[in-house]
């Protein structure tokens, strides 16, 4: 299986399960995880999600860069070049699910909190998933490593990773990651505010579940609206965002009684 998916109470657990290949996102795994994100968004009982990888070496080591069966190395380079300069309108496999926020197949934005439990290498597409999909990030000190992993391959990627990185951490830190393409550990990730906490490997899921439980106990509609507001309107002038926030509050009082207690 490429993805393990289960639900316990109000929490969904998504595990990229391809450890012998570094938990890479091949075509099959991409399709699986697309269906998972869609289900998470549509299931009203799910209030928070924990995303991790199988094993203790890789969170997600990126895309499958091997040529598909029957495609020569020469043809594969040509296809990759065409996709760089004339990219598909979805993400890498052309899917257009996007769950809700419409970033595409396995890089979705869903207006439900996602906690990234980084158990090992997050490189390439694995780094992208952290940036585009997760809201809170916990990494284990022994195994977590991070690498943008694009410039060293001679391209800048056809996803939103670089744009997200420059919005989420300081400019100088983002540019060092992008331009040197050097790997770094959990301690450095914490220093630059890419992640929230560093814990021991045996505490990774325990701490992630503590946070997920806390979120799952909050008023669910308000939580979803808070995430959508924070992301969708982060580039809007404060005066305009304030008006939207007031509108959201008005909608909440009309749509739900979750906050009455």
191 shares its domain with 228: no
179 shares its domain with 244: no
pLDDT confidence bin for 87, thresholds 50/70/90 = very low
Instruction: Give me the CATH number covering residue 200.
Output: 3.90.226.10
Of 150, 144, 117, the closest CA to residue 133 belongs to 117
User: Percentage of the chain surpassing pLDDT 70?
Assistant: 78
Q: What beta strand segments (E) does 70-181 contain?
A: 114-118, 121-123, 136-140, 145-147
126 shares its domain with 246: no
134 shares its domain with 204: yes
151 shares its domain with 224: no
Residue 11 has pLDDT above 50, yes or no: yes
Residue 99 has pLDDT above 80, yes or no: no
199 shares its domain with 240: no
pLDDT confidence bin for 136, thresholds 50/70/90 = very high
Cα 216 to the chain's mean position, in Å?
19
Tell me the whole-structure pTM to 2 decimals.
0.83
- Mean pLDDT in the chain? 83
Residue 103 has pLDDT above 90, yes or no: no
Q: Give how many domains the chain has, as a whole number.
A: 2
pLDDT: is 84 or 168 the higher one?
168
Question: What is the distance between the alpha carbons of residues 161 and 122, in angstroms, rounded to a whole number?
Answer: 13
Question: Rounded to the nearest 5 degrees, what angle is found at the Cα of 60, between the Cα atoms of 185 and 158?
Answer: 100
Residue 98 has pLDDT above 60, yes or no: no
Residue 75 has pLDDT above 70, yes or no: no
173 shares its domain with 122: yes
Give the mean model confidence (pLDDT) for residues 5-30. 91
95 shares its domain with 128: yes
Range scoring the smallest mean pLDDT among 4-13, 28-37, 175-184, 187-196: 28-37
Domain that holds residue 38: 3-216
247 shares its domain with 182: no
């Amino acid at each position: 299986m490429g993805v393990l998916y289960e639900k316990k109470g109000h929490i969904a657990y998504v595990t990229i399960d391809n450890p012998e290949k570094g938990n890479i996102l091949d075509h099959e795994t991409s399709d699986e995880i697309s269906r998972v994100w869609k289900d998470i968004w549509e299931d009203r009982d799910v209030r928070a999600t924990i995303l991790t990888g199988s094993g203790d070496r890789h969170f997600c080591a990126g895309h499958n860069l091997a040529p598909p069966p029957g495609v020569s190395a020469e043809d594969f380079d040509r296809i990759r070049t065409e996709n760089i300069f004339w990219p598909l309108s979805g993400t890498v496999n052309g899917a257009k699910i996007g769950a809700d926020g419409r970033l595409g197949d396995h890089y979705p934005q869903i207006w439900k909190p996602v906690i990234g439990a980084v158990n090992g290498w997050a490189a390439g597409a694995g780094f992208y998933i952290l940036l585009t999909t997760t809201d809170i990030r916990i990494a284990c000190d022994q195994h977590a490593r991070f690498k943008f992993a694009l410039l060293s391959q001679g391209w800048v990627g056809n996803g939103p990773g670089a744009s997200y990185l420059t919005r989420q951490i300081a400019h100088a830190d983002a540019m060092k990651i992008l331009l040197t393409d050097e790997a770094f550990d959990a301690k450095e990730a914490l220093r630059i505010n890419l992640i929230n906490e560093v814990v021991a490997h045996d505490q990774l899921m325990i701490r992630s579940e503590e946070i997920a439980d806390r979120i799952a106990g909050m008023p669910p509609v308000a939580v979803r609206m808070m995430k959508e507001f924070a992301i969708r309107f982060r580039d809007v002038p404060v005066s305009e965002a304030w008006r939207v926030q007031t509108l959201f509050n008005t909608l909440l009082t009309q749509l739900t009684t979750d906050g009455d207690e």
